[in-house]
Chains A and B, each alone.
Chain A
Amino acid sequence: MTDATMTAPAQAKKKPAGRPSTVALLFNNTLATVGLVIVALICLTALAAPFLPLPDPDVTAPANRLMPVFSDDHLLGTDHLGRDLLSRLIWGTRVSLAVGLSATVIAAFFGSLLGLVAGYAGGRVDTLIMRGIDMVMAFPYILLALAIVAVLGPGLLNALYAIALVNIPFFARNIRGITLGLSRREFVDAAKLAGKSPPQILFIEILPNVLPVIVITMSTTVGWMVLETAGLSFLGLGAQPPQADLGSMLGEGRKILFTAPHVSIIPGLMIFALVMSINLLGDGIRDILDPRLRAGSLSRPVARTKVIRDPKDIPPPSIEPGVLDIRDMRTEFQIGGSVYKAVGGVDLHLKKGECLGIIGESGSGKSVTAMSVMGLVPTPPGRIVGGAAYLNGEDLFGASDKRVRDLRGGSVAYVFQDPLSTLHPLFTVGDQLLEAIQAHQPLRGPKAKEKAIELLSLVRIPNAPERLAAYPHELSGGMRQRVCIAMALANDAKVLIADEPTTALDVTVQSQILTLMNGLRRERNAAILFITHDFGVVSAICDRVAVMYAGRIVETGTTAELMENPQHPYTAKLIDCVPVLGQPERRTDAIEGRPPVVNNLPDGCAFADRCPRVQAVCRTGQIDLEMANETRGVRCLFPMNMEPRDVKTS
């Protein structure tokens, strides 16, 4: 639906310098940074243990037993055998960390391998592996670990094996799910057709895509593994005396918890600090590697697009009365260090019952224009930096959040491209319609249901009362889009903003939906802002058209005028490259090149680089949208079929 917002981050990737790096993102997250610092400190201390001036952790000195914290020579005191607690703590941490990390690596390796094979092979192999994994999971983990240690005998290494084995299912299940999804992707089919063998596909094509998930799972399980190691040692099944380990220290201190609490509290605190910081760091790493969070900063989008405009510079409404009146609207995306001017000063106005089409290539800013009107552009990274949108004279960008919420789905309603992702999959069509109605009207019970049925009949859905109980997946694409239109009409919308509502539909269904929308706007006298990339669709439904290019309107006029006599070379080219049924020879020339990236627009005309009529003067200054009359206008110095403008060549 928002092709422009989708392409903006994609384009941003071309300039890695403009995007926050992984490390910068991590430091952006305070908790993760704290975690990182603590983990780093603990690890460094543990690594440096042999070089630190510490007494031997295993040497007993019964004379100095149970010395309190801060005694001379023993900063953290001594335990029941007179061993130095600080020394034991550092050496113990070393052991716990080593065991936890190796267990994680072993579990990750085997778990991922099993998951990859099960997910890719599918069928019997999958069933066999996953049922085995299920059996491991069916035991309480500590019981299983106990059983393993009981068979292998107590000892740190055996505890390590037990913990690794117990954690294999976590990795296997996670990775299998991801692999299953990936192995149905088209690039895997493409690799098959490129002659790759299944192992090559699995390890060369799929594994690199799974790797971030493995790292995420590892970073979130290390803490857990350290805890489990401590648990087994606490029970006396891990580290054997006299070796120090956080769990065994805790176990030894437990017996004298009341007489000498510091012996158990100190390793307890260490376990807490270690696991907590690892988990904080793990969560931070997960957030960074999550592709959805990579595009921008880690903050959550807010309910409404931020408006930052100069209060002295708000354009007044146009003189002609209209339902929706957009004046010089500008929307930008701030991604990393660069600013993408997705909408660079758009004027549009819609009269009652009128259908205005916005047409343009993907990335031209047509969707962002539509989303900006009701503040639906996500902030960050988007923001409205200028202009105004008047709904019946009321400035929408200046209205309160509550007012905008009332208007959304009320006076102004949206219909999006993909009805399957617009409708909630877990609620019936009836529930969602009722919600749309009750958000704005005080209708309850049977009255509301009646209204819902009335709406479904309005969009010509057969058997409306029965269809209320249907879930979105039970309806065809065309029916789902009808439901979306019914929801948009639930509260007598004055303006319907339809963002490519028929692009995902088959031609036969598309013509049904177009006919329906055309009929409804006549019946209800609602205005439609219709966004599309298809001139055929424009011809079928729109009264007027505005052609957008690189965030600006380059030509506007009534549909008939614009189609018969396009003035901007871009419009003419765009119409020319549409294949028409019955004219198989028509496809002659395409528009070479690509639209400019909107973070670095050239001076003058943005289309100059692709234009066959370009002259030197086109690349300088600002070219205005010159209106010949109320509806007709073109942003071109040398429009087609017209006298060229007086160009001041200075």
Chain B
Amino acid sequence: MSKHPETASGTLLSISDVERVFGGERKLFGGQTPAVHAVQNISLDVRKGETLGVVGESGCGKSTLARLIVGLDSPTGGTIHFDGEDLSELAKTDRRTLARKVQYVFQDPVASLNPRKTIQTILEAPLKHLTKLNKEGRKKRLEELLGAVNLAPEFLERYPHEFSGGQAQRIGIARALAAGPELIVLDEPVSALDVSVQAQVLNLLDDLKNRFGLTYIFISHDLSVVESVSDHVAVMYFGRLAELGPARDIFAKPMHPYTDLLMRSAPAPGRHDLLAEDASAELPDPYNPPPGCAFSARCAYRTEKCLANRPSANETVGCNASHFAACYHPLASA
């Protein structure tokens, strides 16, 4: 894993040692409010044109990571570089420049559209503020955008509540595309949609990626969706990376027991034997994190070492040199 973004060729986004702590402020009369590490020691690179899938259960910090990448939030430690530039610095000084390069698609398509604005107003906002297009140019671009996401032009005059989830998500995607970004962060873009619509949106995203040469960071809790879209996958647990590597390797030979657990819990048509853990399997208390591996309480392979020490993100390297797992006792370690 490269700590120097300049050296890696083709790297678009480079995250090194990023940390985001919530709370921990000084109180009026001394003392500190309790602190939670939402994201900790995350280092990863995203190459131009690839899709990085980020998987994890709710509360694992994947959405916090997404907000850091688009500059809606800034890290309390570590750096994020986009194309060699410090992204969090850019977010503070020149948000518009950043917004031209990095965009975001929200999980809840309807909630991400202002209920009192027409689709035209919503889609024109990024064109107005982020591009130098004049009125004519904006009109042309709007038509292009609607065409790109397969929506009829008459939808422009309507309000968000008149749309189904799938249509609203297309509008969300069109908005993200408007200013011609290089990187789009998709935060659970299909989890609020019906399966039938989910496939439509996934196909659309594939198509747009090829057409506009986009780079995606695709966040989801659904492994099968992530598998079908990703080139690389990052599995997160309790704010840290559990496993990182090429999608093919991770899904064929998961090294971290947590990845394996996720894969075996996923329901699939025709599958009857779901793996079920004990009810006592719970996430650790975020205010009082365990000293060792956060997953150890749920892990069948844990040893004294796991309880006492925390494995580093690249504790184990798989057969592919870019496949890492934060585990002392990886599965099928070859």
Does B328 count as interface, using CB distance less than 8 angstroms?
Answer: no
Chain B residues, CB < 8 A from A537: 267
- Contacting residues, chain B, for A515 (C-beta < 8 A): 274, 276
Closest Cβ–Cβ distance, residue A11 to chain B (whole Å): 9
Tell me the minimal C-beta distance from A180 to chain B in angstroms: 16
Contact of A194 among B130, B196, B225 (CB under 8 A): B130
Closest A residue to B227 by CB, please name it. Answer: A584
**Chain B nearest CB, measured from A504 CB (Å):** 9
- Let me know if B125 and A194 touch, CB within 8 A: yes
How distant is the Cα of A146 from the Cα of B225 in the complex, in angstroms?
67
Q: Is the CB of B251 within 8 A of A581?
A: yes
Docked complex: B128-178 residues within 8 A CB-CB of A? 128-130, 161-162, 164-166, 172, 175-176, 178
Nearest residue (CB) in B for A502 is B267
- Docked-complex contact A186 and B108, CB < 8 angstroms: yes
Contact B130 A540 (CB under 8 A): no
Given contacts A362-B165, A508-B281, contact A581 B276 (CB under 8 A): no
Tell me whether B208 is interfacial, beta carbon within 8 Å: no
Please tell me which stretch of B13-21, B41-49, B80-88, B96-104 contacts chain A, meaning at least 4 of its Cβ atoms lie within 8 angstroms of it: B96-104
| Chain B residues with CB under 8 A of A579 | 198-199, 202, 222, 224-225, 227-228
- Encoded as 1 (CB less than 8 Å from any A CB) or 0, chain B from 171 to 215 comes to 010011011000000000000001111111011000000000000
Residue picked from A564, A584, A591, most chain B C-beta under 10 Å = A584
Residues of A within 8 A of B164 (CB): 594
Residue in B111, B128, B199, B265 whose CB lies within 8 Å of A186: B111
Are A514 and B225 also in contact (CB < 8 A) when A536-B271, A578-B269, A590-B197 are? no
- Residues of B257-272 whose CB lies within 8 A of A: 261-263, 265-272
Q: Which of A190, A477, A507, A512 contacts B266 (CB 8 A)?
A: A507
The answer to whether A361 touches B196, judged by C-beta atoms less than 8 angstroms apart, is yes
Given A193-B104, A195-B126, A361-B196, CB of A587 within 8 Å of CB of B228? yes
Verify A581–B198 contact, CB threshold 8 A: no
- Min CB distance A221 to B, Å, is 24
Of the stretches B4-12, B31-39, B113-121, the one at the interface is B113-121
Other-chain residue from B195, B223, B251, B274 in contact with A540 (beta carbon distance below 8 A): B274
Residues of B within 8 Å of A196, CB to CB, are 125, 129
Among candidates B96, B165, B203, B277, residue contacting A512 with C-beta atoms closer than 8 Å: B277
Q: Cβ of A194: which chain B residues have Cβ within 8 Å of it?
A: 99, 125-126, 129-130, 175, 178
**Chain B residues whose CB sits within 8 angstroms of the CB of A185 once the complex forms:** 111
Q: Assess the B279–A590 pair: CB atoms within 8 A.
A: no
Can you list, as one digit per residue, whether each of A543-582 has a CB less than 8 Å from chain B (1) or not (0)?
0000000000000000000011000000001110111111
Q: Is B322 an interface residue (CB 8 A)?
A: no
- Residue A506 at the B interface, CB < 8 A? yes
Encode contact with B along A179-190: 1 for CB under 8 Å, 0 otherwise: 000000111011
- Check B253 for interface membership: any CB of A closer than 8 A: no
Bound CA span A187–B112, Å: 4
- Verify B267–A511 contact, CB threshold 8 A: yes
| Contact status A539-B272, CB under 8 Å | yes
Q: With A10-B161, A578-B269, A587-B199 as known contacts, state yes or no: A208 contacts B116, CB within 8 Å.
A: yes
Whether the pair A590, B200 counts as a contact (CB closer than 8 A) is yes
B140 to chain A, nearest CB (A): 19
Report Cα–Cα, A516/B176, bound state, in Å.
Answer: 42
Pick the contact of B267 from A10, A514, A584 — CB < 8 Å?
A: A514
Choose among A10, A507, A539, A582 the residue that contacts B262 (Cβ–Cβ < 8 A): A507
Which residues of the other chain, A, contact B199 by a CB distance below 8 angstroms?
Answer: 577, 579, 587, 589-591
Q: Which residues of A contact B303 (CB under 8 A)?
A: none
Please tell me which one of the listed residues A190, A512, A573, A586 contacts residue B276 in the complex, with CB atoms under 8 A apart. Answer: A512
**A460 contacts chain B at the CB level, 8 A cutoff:** yes
When distances are taken between beta carbons in the complex, the residues of chain A under 8 Å from B277 are: 508, 511-512
Query: Which residues from 344 to 398 on chain A have a C-beta closer than 8 Å to any C-beta of chain B?
Result: 361-362
Structural contact, B281 and A540, CB atoms closer than 8 A: no
Cα–Cα, bound, A581→B114 (Å): 36
Residues of chain B contacted by A564 (CB below 8 angstroms):
270
A273 at the interface (CB under 8 A from B): no
Residue of B nearest to A564 (CB): B270
| Pair A582/B114 contact, Cβ less than 8 Å | no
Q: Is the CB of B228 within 8 A of A584?
A: yes
Residues in B with CB closer than 8 Å to A14 are 162
| Residue A533, interface by CB 8 Å | yes
Interface check B333, CB cutoff 8 A: no
Q: Are A190 and B269 in contact (CB under 8 A)?
A: no
Q: A196-B129, A507-B223, A511-B276 are in contact. Are A581 and B268 (CB under 8 A)?
A: yes
Known: A507-B223, A511-B275. A573 touches B95 (CB 8 A): no
CB neighbours of A539 from chain B (8 A):
267-272
Expressed in whole angstroms, the Cα–Cα distance for A531 and B331 within the complex equals: 36
The reply to whether A190 and B95 form a contact with Cβ atoms under 8 Å apart is: no
Q: Give Cα distance in the complex from A508 to B295, angstroms.
A: 13
- Report the Cα distance A86→B11, complex, angstroms: 85
A587 and B200 contact, CB distance less than 8 A? no
**Distance (Å) between the CB of B91 and the closest chain A CB?**
10
Q: Would B261 and A508 count as touching, CB distance under 8 A?
A: yes
Q: Quick check: is B58 within 8 A (CB to CB) of the other chain?
A: yes
- By beta carbon, the residue of chain B nearest A534 is B267
- Nearest residue (CB) in B for A291 is B115
CB neighbours of B179 from chain A (8 A): 195
A640 within 8 A of B: no
Contact A190 B279 (CB under 8 A): no
Check B279–A462 contact: CB distance below 8 A: yes
Tell me how far the C-beta of A127 lies from the nearest C-beta in chain B, rounded to whole angstroms. Answer: 11
Contacts of B70 in A (CB 8 A): 193
Task: Check if A1 is an interface residue, CB within 8 A of chain B.
Answer: no
Q: Report chain B residues within 8 Å CB of A192.
A: 72, 95, 99
Q: Does A72 contact B (CB under 8 A)?
A: no
Contacts of B224 in A (CB 8 A): 578-581
**A592 interface hit (Cβ, 8 Å):** yes
Residue in B111, B130, B194 whose beta carbon sits within 8 Å of that of A195 in the complex: B130
Contacts A194-B126, A194-B130, A534-B267 given; does A482 touch B282 at CB 8 Å = no
Task: Assess the A540–B165 pair: CB atoms within 8 A.
Answer: no
- Chain B residue numbers with a CB within 8 Å of A190 are 104, 106, 112-114, 172, 175
A590 and chain B: residue at smallest CB distance:
B199
Contact of B269 among A510, A536, A592 (CB under 8 A): A536
A508 touches B129 (CB 8 A): no
Which A residues from 458 to 492 make CB contacts under 8 A with B? 459-462, 476-479, 482
> Is B313 engaged at the interface, CB distance under 8 Å to the other chain?
no
- B119 → chain A closest CB, angstroms: 13
Give the docked Cα–Cα distance between A234 and B1 (Å). 79
Nearest residue (CB) in B for A537 is B267
Q: A193-B104, A536-B266 are in contact. Are A573 and B196 (CB under 8 A)?
A: yes
Q: Are B58 and A477 interface neighbours, CB within 8 A?
A: yes
A190 to B126, CA, bound (A): 9
Tell whether A535 pairs with B269 under 8 Å between CB atoms, given A508-B261, A573-B196. Answer: yes
Q: How far is B257's CA from A34's CA once the two chains are assembled, in angstroms?
A: 70
B195 touches A578 (CB 8 A): yes
Query: Are A575 and B196 also in contact (CB < 8 A) when A194-B130, A195-B95, A195-B126 are?
Result: no
A131 to chain B, nearest CB (A): 13
Does B249 reach chain A (CB closer than 8 Å)? no
Asked whether A209 is an interface residue with its Cβ less than 8 Å from the other chain, the reply is: yes
Q: Are B113 and A195 in contact, with the CB atoms below 8 A? A: no
* Interface pair A514/B279, CB less than 8 Å apart: no
Q: 11 A-B pairs, CB-CB below 8 angstroms?
A: A13-B161, A205-B117, A508-B281, A574-B195, A580-B224, A580-B268, A581-B251, A581-B268, A587-B199, A587-B202, A592-B200
Q: Which 3 A-B pairs have the closest CB atoms?
A: A536-B267, A195-B129, A590-B199
- On B, residues with C-beta under 8 Å from A are 57-58, 70, 72, 95-96, 99-100, 103-104, 106-108, 111-117, 125-126, 128-130, 161-162, 164-166, 172, 175-176, 178-179, 194-200, 202-203, 221-225, 227-228, 247, 251, 261-263, 265-272, 274-283
